[in-house]
Amino acid sequence: MASPILAAILSFIIPGAGQFYTGHMFRGIGLFILASIVAIFTLFSGSLIIAVVAAIDAYSLASKTN
């Protein structure tokens, strides 16, 4: 059973890590790649938006598995 709070924190720190934690590997890889591309093209200013979206998604996924 995945903790929704831990999943959200992991995904906020490293986008996609919370998805990995909840067992959604491909979604985690996709979010990590997306965050990396956005970070490169926006000089890291857009990364916060992706991190927040990833954290909300990870929280949602972990809540559904419990």
Cα–Cα distance between 19 and 5 in angstroms, integer? 12
- Who's near 25: CB < 8 A, 6+ residues apart? 19
Global pTM reads: 0.88
Residue labelled with tokens 């992706």: 50
Q: What are phi and psi of 14, to 5 degrees?
A: -130, 105
Q: How far does Cα 56 stand from its chain's mean position?
A: 8
Q: At which residue do the structure tokens 């790649």 appear?
A: 33
Position 23 scores a pLDDT of 93
Q: What pLDDT sits at residue 1?
A: 81
Residues of the chain with pLDDT under 70: 66
Predicted local confidence at residue 2, as pLDDT: 86
| Length in residues, the chain | 66
